[in-house]
Structure 1
Amino acid sequence: MKTMKKRNNIVLIGFMGVGKGTIARALYKEIGLFPLDCDDLIESAYNSKIKEIFAKHGEDEFRKIEKKLAKFIEKNINNAIVSTGGGFYKVPNLKKLGTIIYLKSDFDSIIKRIETSPNAEKKLAKRPLLKDLNEAKKLFDKREDEYEKVADFIVEVSDKTPKQIVKEIKKIIKGPKDGNSLNRTCKS
């Protein structure tokens, strides 16, 4: 039987707008692992915004692009914080990419977070699946259990600051007092 080799990355999953990129950048400041944003990498590789890729090629093609990116991460990226798109959790090799941390929030908190951000209009515009909030809520409800199934750890983020969330993730990374950790060095 072939064993699954896991990369030494922190992989943040969760619904669109939950703050995966924000937390990746905040973690970088605390632990020094470089943050990589999957959507930014895709936009750079295809020289198009996510919403343009969706409009031109459709969601199925976008998911194929995510699978290609996941293979790239598996083969080439180590010791990084990977913030993913909301549907990235479906890539077949997810568990090989690193330790999967689900940033869990209720739907209303996510929408409130986006709507009250300084660049709210831009954040909503770049998320084509949020155009119809009723459909987005159905998608959220469907994905919530799926995120939990693939996650190694779940961090509740509703009504918490990035600093509080980072503190919780640092505890996960360090592991229990018995020395069982994820092999990551945290700055103190």
Structure 2
Amino acid sequence: MALLSLLSSKVSLSALAVGLSTFVSNTVAQTSFNCTEFFVPVSISAQTVELNLGSPHNQSELTSLVTRMTYLESTIVDEVTVGPSMVNATYNIWSQLCVPDGFEEDGVIEFTIHGGTENHTYFNFGKESPYNYAEAALKAGHAIFTYDGLGVGNSDKPDGIQEVQIGTETAVAIALVEKLPSLLSFGKVVGVGHAHGRYDN
């Protein structure tokens, strides 16, 4: 319950109101930890690219678009790019913070960014599995922050063409990192990215 008290005193009321949803205690190979799930409202201003491209209406259009994009001599980027644009918006991002018992104020928190086709579960699957990254981090005494990227999982799903771009995803990641000190006292943040997520790190 110490983490819940810490969150109550350090998270803004708006973040709590948006949804502190779950408080879970777990034990993994003699490592006790607490995980809390919540939504974090993030306000961003990000440079994007305006695209003259509508949403595919069916699987055939989507397949055609992907084929055109991945063709070696594809010119689709030049064909659909209108020019630079800006996104100014607030999004609710589903997040999870797991903290091992006895976490020190100068400890390490790992900030994870999943790949483009995954969500937060990429880092936390298969309980007590040798491939469960979150459990390995907790066993090492690190706190770990995972989240569903913009347009994925439980996070907000804005326009997938005009808004969900690398610029907005990077701005969301930066905003979340900036909010970490309000959630937990720590000494160092380590960024962990997989595939597409490595570009945001």
Greater C-alpha radius of gyration: 2
TM-score (ref. length: structure 2): 0.27
Higher relative contact order at CA 8 Å, sep ≥6: structure 1 or structure 2?
A: 1
TM-score (ref. length: structure 1): 0.28
